[in-house]
A and B are shown apart, each in its own frame.
Chain A
């Protein structure tokens, strides 16, 4: 689904690359999480997959970017948009401002796709209920709380059912259980092969539970890549400006205090931690 080869990208006027020789292959149906400190290149990678780099941001892109069979640098943004949906980190960038209600905002993209009217209505009702926006459907998108706006941004992308869903820190303003629910929905989309998912995130607990694969970005490069359990328990994590989950921290502290002597694999999720400390 995604094929990146030696991708290097400079924003206009930048002297250091935001992506530096990055290669990445993501097969269809995978849920791939991207983690890293602020400035590591997560958003830039998301923009590249959705074609905003280079088509909107300009700058200098070299290497190969192929997404869903589309040669991204050569294709038009419209052609890419048919394959890739991007949820921006800031929901304000997502809301068109061209529509008066939440329902119309969600319908916006579907109208452009030419989806028949009753199917459109059914899809919108479904996604409104998933995003807990049903009761707010007739509100102005601007008369919502921060978290409700972020739910709207996610909903208006998912309703289009793009083959590749790219999300840039989409849960930063969501309540805790709401965040977990978004992760679960993304896992289900990927598990049923309805979509391939690339998710930039800080919430490592849910990355650990739900993602198939985790890549760590650092200064525009991939410095770790593998199953969540391996990547998130690694001692290198802090070196890349990331903090392991409290479960991993507690296990390390228990080892240091002599409470555990064996070298069992360190836990990254609650379930693993219960097993570890039992």
Chain B
């Protein structure tokens, strides 16, 4: 008969085996759950360098922004807006009726305009521009809520861009609406670069035209298909 070790060693062995299970269980738990605490980061290497990346904090300035807002009354070098046609849609105090010279209407420009319109405008105006976008619909629901507007919501119906008051507008005026907004609509000048705003305007014009198409607009060899 082989001699067996004292009982205490058995118990210690069982405790040790159980203790060895704890770290893997914690690891599995941490892999499969989310955490509000920042990830563990024992070795910093050069992960955090004394430099600014976009949209980071700086202790040097009172408002804490590393990207400095432009001081009032200054213009950056590439932001000179001498070309009022291109930048404001105005020449000699009149809305322009043509596209800027370096942005002639082309299929590519219209496609670009369509993509941008679908990103920035459809939420309120809808894909066809009729003013029935998802946000417009939801906002009207919030306003007409049975127990009063939710959290003070107010809403002005997004304009149908096929409304006669809009279709008569020259491109310069549309460009101004997109850039600076109008009445209850905010301006998109800071969100959308100038070229893309012109592309959107071109697309809006095309969209308006498509709602007002005549048989003469269809190429003769295709006319039988739509008749």
Query: Is chain B a partner of chain A in the same complex?
Result: no
Residues of A within 8 A of B (CB): none
Chain B interface (Cβ within 8 Å of chain A)?
Answer: none
